[in-house]
Structure 1
């Protein structure tokens, strides 16, 4: 048995907090400063966390190792189980060519680049974020915008800025699933569930969604773009925000982005049947070779191809199947049935026995194996139905599934290492020591909470990783500072989404896609200002939600 201690290092809380922060400092320096590969940085930081736990926090070696193993196991199931199977479904549509049909259906909505930025970068990017996440939306939408004649630098900036509001619910709400696990274990609060945290995030990020499309048309065409296309931008943002709020609070947290992206796209399409801008912004001249963003040459246009109505319906079918399956499993009676044995098992992690500073058992040591109702398992079911609809043979489906694991091998190792790191820090008491020290900020911590999430995503490139690292810290600090743990936990995820556009990983993806490898700094300078402006907005929202002014928004 091991009991956590808040000030094990010299009896000093400040010194203990500093030592507890060493794994995070190591991770940030390796990733942000030395630009070490993410999986290597994760493993190195895990080693530091284990050393700090054993040497400085007096955690038995076997308990520390078991904590890391449980964290890695949770990293694979349910986190990577969701991601891998979601990307498999996406890869099936690519393999059959129906992804291109879906892309063309979006492209044909309007020839105006400002509208294309809204439809492709924001709506379609949100759909990709909902299903895959982890950089996929930026990589794909950048290429699509380039094919339509966007300047490279502008295409990269638009895709990165658009990839904000949907991120917290990305990969079928993987960040929120992670957040619920690490926070409920850190605070033993039964209210810190996926549904509650998803509902809270769904009362923060929709406000961003209203603003982001306006920013996109401004980036594409300056003040003229905002003046001429504010209507479709607002229609898109409001439709997305309201749908994300409704889905996260009343339908299904994993479905929030899927529903919001499709409703927003449909709203813009309907609007364009009744309204059109006074003048259209057509495709720009392509950049000269070796001169990103340069001018000269003939205008470009996307190759035209006619898709039948059947093909279009098949292209949308996988997403309709996903929505149907998740909607059925979220019916109260079905949900309760799936929560019972043999579909769900909860067991104490073998050999792991940890008490919090108050001498009470820590709930994180209980592992929930909900193998059938898990989002990843439901995605496999959706993939099987997709194979039947698109007439994909078993061998092709299996080959695609194997290739998906190969493509994600580095991400798999990274996520498992980061979750192992988070569990070691949480169970050894390192997170508790940091939380107790940060609680000295009192109610002002509400303004700092989103910044912590922003920093985590800016460095790791993942809202999931940021939630794993700081989720427990947020709720423990909230409890000690007299703030609402649900609000602070959600603020970590909502603030984190704004760090996505400036993270080195996403910048590298965007730069490679537009042929600007090595010039990530140019893209960084283009998006940094917007990241900070939106972060200030989120800090204000969370600050007001911690007071009676907007306190009624907290579930």
Structure 2
């Protein structure tokens, strides 16, 4: 019992400090890392060398995330100083000046497409700055991007999270049955996600008008209901059909692309969009905590460029992501082979690190396209210097919280490497939920997926960690394992709304480090739990 309480202590510390006391992620995560080190040393009896190795490995893995964040911010700043963002703002205003329509098109449809192509936090890193450029408060953009990046996640990065389940349970299912088994898991994942996805765009608009609207009233969301429900349908229909007949690699990618095209056309002709446009209050009346270092005013200037040139960097990013993420094209294997590998730290298992510079989206395509944009937009040397300088300054604020958060996760995942034979902290927490639930395990299952994503920042890692445990628990209590595997997969996706790494990364991207993390965690907990309630209710009918 003591080990269970101690295993939960770091996560409880984060929640209490960030939600209860409104502390920054820098302080909360740093303290939780120290606490995790002490618990690992004294309760799990790990050696100091092992603890040090896993912490250092966490710092190295955090560098991967920082590179992605750097690239996403650099794209925004490059467009900001080249005049491209001004042109994009005008183009979106021409499609619709309604902020409710804009958040659905960019956060939902564009975000789903980018999730399908790249995943790993890329959608929020791209969508949130784009929304800010259109005139959204930074906090509103970050909240919306995180919540909307939920339903597509299980099939993100060309199906990587679902493939993580296949890898982790292949030995339990048997190699001769795994293909047909995973096809059923894929269809169940898409079906259950689709039910929850029907409310996600609508939910985000309701939160947007309530927290950030002039009137602070849910009534302002009612006129957008036809369009938001239509947006859900235009995504989930191709999404489900592709999952059923084409496998788990491209449902989000193709579903997002189809949805994006249909919604842009619909908004242009005014199909199902509100008659009256809705906007935020004037910016001089925004509270200071809404605003990050990337203010929309800073993106307004006299310089404008051709709209096609302005959009070309994002089009190139999307094209490169598609070409490099679909295995059949042939570039993925080559790019994944481009890496700088380091041996295990102090000889400790599971600490060998590879910097996959060829496949990391922060470099290809983000930084690559940012450099190309210098020439495409004919930027001056001073403009380039300002873009890069601003980017380094913003990313610097995220270094400590990201390093502390990822290091804590790596340590907790690997606490099973101890001389006493204790299971790791994460497995202790998951087994606690399984033991107390019994036949009600269907309720607990998605929460375990959320827990894994909350810690690791990844649906894939959550699946790799907990899919075998969930399979075994479902078998013990007599539940259909395919449904439980789907709930693990979907719970890990829902956990992206609240996972610390994603929150810190998006705060760094929009300039909210130090003042936005606890608010995002507070805002997004209820949507995450609501998502879990919907998927659990749906799953009960499928058991």
TM-score by length of 1: 0.68
Partner of 2:420: none
Task: For residue 389 of structure 1, report the CA deviation from its aligned partner.
Answer: 2.0
Task: For residue 62 of structure 1, report the CA deviation from its aligned partner.
Answer: 0.3
Task: For residue 206 of structure 1, report the CA deviation from its aligned partner.
Answer: 5.0
2:483 paired with 1:481: no
2:61 paired with 1:74: yes
Q: How does 1:160-309 map to 2 (within 5 A)?
A: 160=143, 163-167=146-150, 205-215=193-203, 226=222, 229-242=224-237, 256=252, 263-272=258-267, 276=271, 280-283=275-278
Partner of 2:82: 96
Aligned mate of 1:62, from 49, 64, 67: 49
Task: For residue 525 of structure 1, report the CA deviation from its aligned partner.
Answer: 9.9
Q: How has the CA–CA distance of structure 1 residues 86 and 433 changed in structure 2, closer, same or farther, with 3 Å as cutoff? A: same
Write the distance in 1 (CA, Å) between the matches of 2:356 and 2:415. 26
Query: What is the SS of the residue equivalent to 1:108?
Result: helix
2:492 paired with 1:493: yes
Task: For residue 70 of structure 1, report the CA deviation from its aligned partner.
Answer: 1.0
Does the 8 Å CA contact 2:332/2:359 hold for their aligned counterparts? no
Task: For residue 532 of structure 1, report the CA deviation from its aligned partner.
Answer: 4.7
Write the distance in 2 (CA, Å) between the matches of 1:182 and 1:43. 31
Q: How does 1:126-141 map to 2 (within 5 A)?
A: 137=127, 141=131
Q: How does 1:367-406 map to 2 (within 5 A)?
A: 367-379=353-365, 380-392=367-379, 396-397=383-384, 399-406=386-393
2:16 paired with 1:29: yes
Aligned mate of 1:425, from 393, 401, 412: 412
Q: How has the CA–CA distance of structure 1 residues 274 and 100 changed in structure 2, closer, same or farther, with 3 Å as cutoff? A: closer
Q: How has the CA–CA distance of structure 1 residues 479 and 145 changed in structure 2, closer, same or farther, with 3 Å as cutoff? A: same
Coordinate RMSD, CA, aligned: 5.4
Q: How has the CA–CA distance of structure 1 residues 76 and 180 changed in structure 2, closer, same or farther, with 3 Å as cutoff? A: farther
Aligned mate of 2:398, from 387, 411, 415: 411
Q: Relative CO higher for 1 or 2, CA cutoff 8 Å, sep ≥ 6?
A: 2
Higher mean displacement: 48-57 or 405-414: 405-414
Q: How has the CA–CA distance of structure 1 residues 495 and 351 changed in structure 2, closer, same or farther, with 3 Å as cutoff? A: same
TM-score by length of 2: 0.69
Write the distance in 2 (CA, Å) between the matches of 1:222 and 1:366. 51
Write the distance in 2 (CA, Å) between the matches of 1:352 and 1:39. 30
Task: For residue 167 of structure 1, report the CA deviation from its aligned partner.
Answer: 4.9
Aligned residues: 490
Q: How has the CA–CA distance of structure 1 residues 120 and 353 changed in structure 2, closer, same or farther, with 3 Å as cutoff? A: closer
Write the distance in 1 (CA, Å) between the matches of 2:336 and 2:521. 48
Write the distance in 2 (CA, Å) between the matches of 1:378 and 1:199. 32
Query: What is the SS of the residue equivalent to 1:408?
Result: helix
2:44 paired with 1:49: no
Q: How has the CA–CA distance of structure 1 residues 94 and 463 changed in structure 2, closer, same or farther, with 3 Å as cutoff? A: farther
Write the distance in 1 (CA, Å) between the matches of 2:472 and 2:280. 57
Partner of 1:450: 446
Gaps of 5+ in 1: 1-13, 147-151, 293-301, 355-363, 551-555
Provide Cα deviations, 1:17-75, integer angstroms capped at 9, x if missing partner.
22222222232223223333212222221121122112111211101110111122112
Aligned mate of 1:536, from 533, 536, 542: 533
Task: For residue 260 of structure 1, report the CA deviation from its aligned partner.
Answer: 5.7
